[in-house]
Amino acid sequence: MTDFSDIAPRLAEQAIELPSWAFGNSGTRFKVFAQPGVPRDPFEKISDAAQVHKLTGLAPKVALHIPWDKVDDFGALARHAADEGVALGTVNSNTFQDDDYKLGSVTHRDDRIRQKAIDHHFECIDVMNETGSRDLKIWLADGTNYPGQDDVRGRQDRLADSLRQIYDRLGDDQRLVLEYKFFEPAFYHTDVPDWGTSYAQVSALGPKAMVCLDTGHHAPGTNIEFIVMQLLRLGKLGSFDFNSRFYADDDLIVGAADPFQLFRILVEVIRGGGYGADSDVAFMLDQCHNVEDKIPGQIRSVLNVQEMTARALLVDRAALDTAQAAGDVLGAHGILMDAFYTDVRPALAEWRESRGLPADPMRAYAESGYGAGIAASRVGGEQAGWGA
Ligand code: AOS
Ligand code: ZN
Ligand code: ZN
């Protein structure tokens, strides 16, 4: 098997984007549990995200959500991020919270509402121009609840037209990534339900439009690594939203529900050239921490991605190719499983120390006093929620 020392340099190429909304209070439709010290504004969310990067070296960017992270001066927010040692990343649009969007946003039959949704994306691009962000991520809640409720073909055509208008606004170095999700909040049909629909829509737009794959947005049993392989093969995998699902779109800590699935996904990422400094694939988390502490929840998440990345890098590709070519079914399978079952945690702890990082970032955070500090100092104002 490949030796850890051979893959160590490649681990330094890992960069994971944290979602600003992971640091706000969140919950289910039953209850949002408030936590002490939760940020009161986007500046404090960035400061919390920066702790994750400081202790792990893995999370140099923070993704924003507009309007949840709307500030008067995005230049000031970008400077604050730089002061904290991170940068602003993907801008996520939001066309799912206004009453106007009850029956759709960029697919809506009413020209006024559809234009409002398009204008919101123009506003997001204005934000990107100020923050220096590369990616506009579009996730749409558009869909219907009942057969016959609307003409699904007409909606698809309006979606294409709206995306075209948004795409045409992008700068030369900016991209649009279109996320798919098979259900929720609409339960009969969703306008971008699967990778095929996203791929068809972004392919019609041009080279700056890509697919975003959220690991929680598939039916149980879906072979997600196959989709990863196909999108990389087609040159259209723009970004990931990483999280875990047990049942639906659970948004739990990545690698918690099924570490083996995360490993298999990362094997295909590496196989397809999606990993490393010269890849354009953005690795975002899309998670909420409803009952656990948020900053440690994010630290645990990026460490989980790193552990499975290390295991995936350990796959002996030459031996695997040889076994596959020889038709050695169980031999090939065994080579993959040898890498998966390798406990890389001690080697990663040493790797971190060699780079001036704490061997155990979870423990380092607990001992840092940061959590107690924000709980004591952030007492006035309104704490941010999963939304604003
Ligand atoms: C929604 O289910 C999608 O996963 C979105 O990517 C994301 O969770 C949302 O935009 C966060 O608000
Ligand atoms: Zn997502
Ligand atoms: Zn989701």
Q: State the Cα–Cα distance between residues 149 and 116, nearest whole angstrom.
A: 22
Give the pLDDT score at 1: 76
From the CA of 92, give the closest atom in ligand 1: 10
Query: pLDDT tens, 85-100?
Result: 999 999 999 999 999 9
Which residue has its alpha carbon closest to ligand 1 atom 3?
139
pLDDT at residue 386 is higher than 90: no
Q: What are the start-end ranges of the E strands in the chain?
A: 16-19, 61-65, 87-92, 135-138, 143-144, 175-179, 189-190, 209-214, 237-242, 282-285
CA of 290 to the centre of ligand 3 (A): 15
Give the pLDDT score at 385: 78
**Annotated domain spans of the chain:** 13-312
What residue ranges line ligand 1, CB within 6 angstroms? Answer: 21, 65, 92, 139, 179, 181, 214, 241, 249, 286
Q: State the Cα–Cα distance between residues 126 and 66, nearest whole angstrom.
A: 11
* CATH class as words, domain 13-312: alpha beta
Confidence of residue 265 (pLDDT cuts 50, 70, 90): very high
pLDDT at residue 25 is higher than 70: yes
From the CA of 212, give the closest atom in ligand 1: 6
- The first and second tokens of residue 388, run together, are 């604003």
Give the SS3 label for residue 244.
strand
Please name which of 300, 207, 311 lies closest in space to residue 263, comparing C-alpha atoms: 311
Give the pLDDT score at 102: 98
Which ligand is nearest to the Cα of residue 214, counting in written order?
Answer: 2
Query: pLDDT tens, 198-211?
Result: 999 999 999 999 99
Give the pLDDT score at 12: 96
Q: State the Cα–Cα distance between residues 338 and 22, nearest whole angstrom.
A: 34
CA of 216 to the centre of ligand 3 (A): 6
Confidence of residue 382 (pLDDT cuts 50, 70, 90): confident
For the chain, the C-alpha Rg in angstroms (whole number) is: 21
| CB neighbour list of residue 281: distance below 8 Å, 6 or more residues apart | 232, 237, 238, 239, 240, 269, 274, 275
Q: State the Cα–Cα distance between residues 90 and 175, nearest whole angstrom.
A: 10
pLDDT at residue 387 is higher than 80: no
pLDDT at residue 381 is higher than 90: no
| ipTM tops the 0.95 cut | yes
Query: Which amino acid, 54?
Result: K
Query: pLDDT tens, 34-87?
Result: 999 999 999 999 999 999 999 999 999 999 999 999 999 999 999 999 999 999
pLDDT at residue 327 is higher than 80: yes
pLDDT at residue 388 is higher than 80: no
